[in-house]
Chain A
Amino acid sequence: MKKIILNFLTLGLVAGALAGARAEDINIEKPIDILGQTKPIPVSLDGFSGEAAEVLKFDLYVQGFSFVAPDAAQYQISGSSAGDVTGRVTDKFAKRVILSRSYNGASVRRQAHAFADDIVQTILNKPGIGQTKIAFKAQAPTGNGEIYVADFDGHNAVAVTSDNAIVAKPAWVPGKLALYYTSYARGNPDIFYHSLSSGQRRVIAGYSGLNTSAAVSPDGSKVAMILSKSGSPNVWVCNADGSNLKRLTTGLEDSSPCWSPDGQWICFATKIAERRRLAKVSASGGPIKTFNTSGAPNPTEPDWSPDGKWIAFTRQAGDFEICVMPADGSLAPSVLVAGQNPSWAPNSRTLVFNHRTPGYRQVLSVLDVFTKQYKDCQRANGSDSQPAWAK
């Protein structure tokens, strides 16, 4: 099965490459679908009810599965959620049971997430995202808000601040229950480090002007951020505790730094000759290199996938749209869905992002990049944005 999936991806890339060459020849500035049309894996779901059924459907849908009648399914998922969750998966082609498991402890929700993870691991041979966490900003109409932490589907949301101030851009410390985020609680946008296990927090960047957009290096030892203390908003880097501060860029106006998974590069949004561009700079400093994002005007908010292959970002052509491009810049970006603030899941195929409701509020949503399937998360309070997926 892994091989089939890989083939799907390879086909998509090859098709994209061919389309890219053709587009260049006839000079069409149109985004190319680099991901191909990866079809969802058809499964059937029987025997689950209520919350367990809801969780299984959500988790599998945003990891590239679709739901069909048992006869049309490649995998038949059956079981029960009366009491504890019990389930199994039958491979209809191989005509055998490939997963049979029951769960106890925690909640039915959690049991269903665990079963979804086992299904994904068994079929895709990759860890599932069912038991992962996100952090995000929930904003009231006044503009003030709090930082929240929740399950990746928005359930079990807990406010981790009580600032009643403008807050922004939470970022997880990899592998730890700890966040960096921006809060105006002291009357200035400052970057806080906040341990969620002890509840202790402290300012790691509270300089004159703007201190925002903290992004933690994959090994947790460094933080990239935007400071304006030298006269323009630029990318700076420091140690996890705020020490050893170093300026990395000197452009007019930078925003939203993120790290490559090898810790070598920092990708960010910048402005060159009054045009918004994406660029990268070595984490130890040096010249900046711009990305070619033709077909995706006004790119901002880059996020580098944990496997290093992709950069997701937001383009703005009127409304905001989520785009993905290969991190090596080999192909033009692919436009996925309306939305902004993309953040990769640990699986490097699912994104959490936010999009506008007709009432001008923001709602979080989870997107499977390869199939473009997405579902809205459970709401917290007010307008939810700037999600960050714990990795």
Chain B
Amino acid sequence: MKMNKLVFPLVLALAALMATTGCKKGFTKVTPLPGPRAMVGGETGGETLPSAGTIGGETPSTGTGVATPTGGGATANLDEFEGMVKDPAALAAYTVHFKFDSAVVQDNEQANIASVAQALTSDTNAKLLIEGNCDERGTEEYNRSLGERRALALREALAKLNISPDRIRTISYGKDKPADPGHDEAAWAKNRRGDFVLLHPKAGV
């Protein structure tokens, strides 16, 4: 190894010499590296990754400016809810909680669901957003599906009380929006929930 260390610079020097003198049998091959571009194969015209700023202009939260799907196109259901005003306080008292890893609506939650149904029955212009949430025990995408199933289960429970599912939108936040940031059973119990957000028609419509 000591020998190698001594010989190595000589090899390099020799290689460099050969390279400069045009000899094709250099010991050390040189790999020239391109600049930072086309790093994973690259599309046509693929250059550097764009900065966040480049893309920012195209992503308004209202959705205008974001191209609509070319196929499928079934955002019509959502469009009916477009522009409605969220009223999270109105039904905040009726949040429904779930058992661990379950989307089954417990019997003792029926009073809450009846109260939500009553609010929608008395205000026929109002619609409803149901937000499904999970505790942190469960992988991210698993919880996103579980949260959606909880929201859908609540929609079904309301349908049984004659609230049309057409008036209800569901959204799952998985474990991304805990009500309590703690890491114990008390926090988890609060986080396994379905929140009801009343939606009012936009003023003047």
Q: List residues of chain A with CB under 8 Å of any chain B CB.
A: 46-47, 70-71, 76, 78-79, 86, 88, 90, 100-106, 110-111, 114, 118, 131-133, 139, 141, 143, 146, 149, 156, 158-163, 165-166, 168-169, 172, 175-178, 185-189, 194-210, 212-213, 226, 228-229, 231-233, 238-239, 241-245, 252-256, 269, 274, 276, 300-301, 314, 316, 320, 340-341, 360, 385-386, 390
B36 touches A106 (CB 8 A): yes
B32 touches A203 (CB 8 A): no
Query: Chain B contacts of A320 at CB under 8 A?
Result: 139
B66 touches A187 (CB 8 A): no
Chain A to chain B contacts (Cβ below 8 Å), 14 pairs: A78-B5, A143-B176, A175-B41, A185-B66, A197-B47, A202-B68, A207-B72, A212-B141, A212-B144, A228-B172, A238-B72, A239-B71, A242-B69, A314-B139
A197 touches B55 (CB 8 A): no
B31 interfacial by beta-carbon distance below 8 Å: yes
Query: Chain B contacts of A166 at CB under 8 A?
Result: 173, 176-177
A341 touches B52 (CB 8 A): no
Query: Chain A contacts of B28 at CB under 8 A?
Result: 86, 88, 100-102
A75 to chain B, nearest CB (A): 12
B78 touches A208 (CB 8 A): yes
B152 touches A231 (CB 8 A): yes
B66 touches A168 (CB 8 A): no
A209 touches B148 (CB 8 A): yes
B52 touches A206 (CB 8 A): no
Contact of A172 among B5, B40, B145, B148 (CB under 8 A): B40
A206 touches B78 (CB 8 A): yes
Query: Which 9 pairs, one residue from A and one from B, show the smallest C-beta to C-beta distance?
Result: A243-B71, A202-B67, A208-B77, A162-B56, A233-B145, A106-B33, A186-B63, A197-B46, A175-B41
A202 touches B72 (CB 8 A): no
A161 touches B152 (CB 8 A): no
B59-73 Cβ-contact flags toward A at 8 Å (1 or 0): 101110011111110
A196 touches B50 (CB 8 A): yes
B56 touches A195 (CB 8 A): no
B31 touches A187 (CB 8 A): no
Cα–Cα, bound, A132→B63 (Å): 33
Query: Chain B contacts of A175 at CB under 8 A?
Result: 40-41
Task: Tell me the number of A-to-B contacts counted with CB atoms below 8 Å.
Answer: 272
Query: Chain A contacts of B68 at CB under 8 A?
Result: 202-203, 206
**Smallest CB gap from B80: residue in A:** A208
B12 touches A86 (CB 8 A): yes
A199 touches B50 (CB 8 A): yes
**Smallest CB gap from B143: residue in A:** A255
The interface centre, meaning the residue of B52, B55, B62, B63 with most chain A CB atoms within 10 A of its CB, is B55
A177 touches B46 (CB 8 A): yes
Query: Chain B contacts of A172 at CB under 8 A?
Result: 40
B204 interfacial by beta-carbon distance below 8 Å: no
Interface residues of B in 129-145 (CB under 8 A from A): 137-142, 144-145
With A100-B11, A199-B55 given, is the CB distance from A210 to B172 under 8 Å? yes
Query: Chain B contacts of A200 at CB under 8 A?
Result: 58
A102 touches B31 (CB 8 A): yes
Interface residues of B in 74-113 (CB under 8 A from A): 74-75, 77-78, 102-103
B63 touches A161 (CB 8 A): no
Query: Chain A contacts of B59 at CB under 8 A?
Result: 161-163, 185, 201
B20 interfacial by beta-carbon distance below 8 Å: no
**Smallest CB gap from A206: residue in B:** B75
B22 interfacial by beta-carbon distance below 8 Å: no
Query: Chain A contacts of B30 at CB under 8 A?
Result: 101-104
A162 touches B55 (CB 8 A): yes
Query: Chain B contacts of A169 at CB under 8 A?
Result: 140-141
Contact of A226 among B27, B54, B140, B141 (CB under 8 A): B141
